[in-house]
Structure 1
Amino acid sequence: MKSLVLWSSRTGNTKALAEAIYDALPGEKEIGEEGRISDFSGYDMIFVGFWAFRRGADMVARRTLSSIHGKKVAIFGTAGTYPDSPAAHDYLENAAALLPDDSTCAGTFICQGRVHSFHVGKRNEHAQKVHPMTPERLVRLQEAEKHPDGEDFKKAGAWALEIVNKL
């Protein structure tokens, strides 16, 4: 079995998670940044990673997910939100919905990750209206700064191994 792990990363979180997944996978495998590999024909399993953006995957990952035909795809991501939150569920569900009808989502995984400084620093008026900086939001963003951590990497690796063992 040959696996491919792809990632798109803004702050390095998703790349680090992709590396943990890659390290956990048995057999023949490759890793690369999304947008640099477009021929998926030689792979049995494709892992696609994204950073959370507007209730889904970032734009590079969206293009990648929508271009994978006839494959089993596992989707993973990082977000500033808690992994068990409705927002995290939406990110994964919306990312999986991008797969063409002839591909199958083999599973999903998301963990918290630090966010771009825009979200915690000085923000424009529109951003403040859409996502006001409440005390709860600030606590969540401060917690996100600690992730992904060793436990997140361990969980991601176990998840990836479970995915390939099912095949």
Structure 2
Amino acid sequence: MKTDQYSILFSSLTGNTKKLADAIHETLPEEGCEYFGAIKTPVPSSELLYIGFWTDKGNADNETLTLLSTLKNRRIFLFGTAGFGGSDAYFQKILGQVRQSIDPSNTIIGEYMCQGKMPQSVRERYMKMKENPEHPANLDALIKNFDCALSHPDSDDLEKLRNLCRLR
């Protein structure tokens, strides 16, 4: 196992998590990077892995969960995006779900999550639902959240992540 190198692996459905991965890659020393890119097998041999995911039903996407379940004796920095956001409690709940897939032989050295924009089709679906007189009571809140998410990850989100990575 390569202890002086790191790898950045990520799964990004809409490009939000890739933006986070790019920010990490730009922040860390280039000479220490063994691998940067999509989740792959075999897993790079770096002891330190930055692993990014997009949120699917309150947990990491399946590809990331599969990767995490195979790792042993690694140092892991988790990072991810979620369309619904604005609440650290919500992000912590997701990270808690993700951590359940990680073997206890691993050490989580850091975590970061932020909101990410969603596809326009989500808003269109909400607007279509609104046409129904018996639409969900929280539909306006969902539309407001969608509109808020359009700018994320933003420069503040990326700078917070860069600062966390500089501390490692």
Q: TM-score, normalised by structure 1?
A: 0.84
Cα-to-partner distance string for 1:100-123 (whole Å, 9 max, x where unaligned) = 121111121001101234432226
Larger Rg: 2
Give SS of 1:81's match.
coil
4+ residue runs over 6 A deviation: none
2-side partners of 1:134 and 1:122: how far apart?
Answer: 11
User: Equivalent residues in 2 for 1:69-88 (5 A)?
Assistant: 69-88=72-91
Contact 1:75/1:96 (8 A) holds in 2: no
1:156 match: 161
1-side partners of 2:137 and 2:70: how far apart?
Answer: 35
Contact 1:8/1:60 (8 A) holds in 2: yes
Cα deviation for residue 28 of structure 1 reads 0.6
Alignment of 1:57 with 2:60, yes or no, is yes
1:7 match: 10
- Deviates most, 140-149 or 23-32: 23-32
Taking structure 1 as reference, are residues 84 and 10 closer, same or farther at Cα in structure 2, changes over 3 Å only? same
2-side partners of 1:109 and 1:132: how far apart?
Answer: 31
User: Equivalent residues in 2 for 1:130-141 (5 A)?
Assistant: 134-141=139-146
The alignment yields a C-alpha RMSD, in angstroms, of 2.3
Aligned length: 158
Give SS of 2:49's match.
strand
Taking structure 1 as reference, are residues 73 and 121 closer, same or farther at Cα in structure 2, changes over 3 Å only? same
Over the matched positions of the two proteins, sequence identity in percent amounts to 25
2:32 match: 28
1-side partners of 2:101 and 2:15: how far apart?
Answer: 23
Q: TM-score, normalised by structure 2?
A: 0.84
Cα deviation for residue 132 of structure 1 reads 6.3
2:117 match: 114
2:108 match: 105
Unaligned runs of 5+ in 1: none
Unaligned runs of 5+ in 2: none
Taking structure 1 as reference, are residues 132 and 66 closer, same or farther at Cα in structure 2, changes over 3 Å only? farther
The one-letter code sitting in structure 2 at the alignment partner of 1:119 is V
Alignment of 1:17 with 2:20, yes or no, is yes
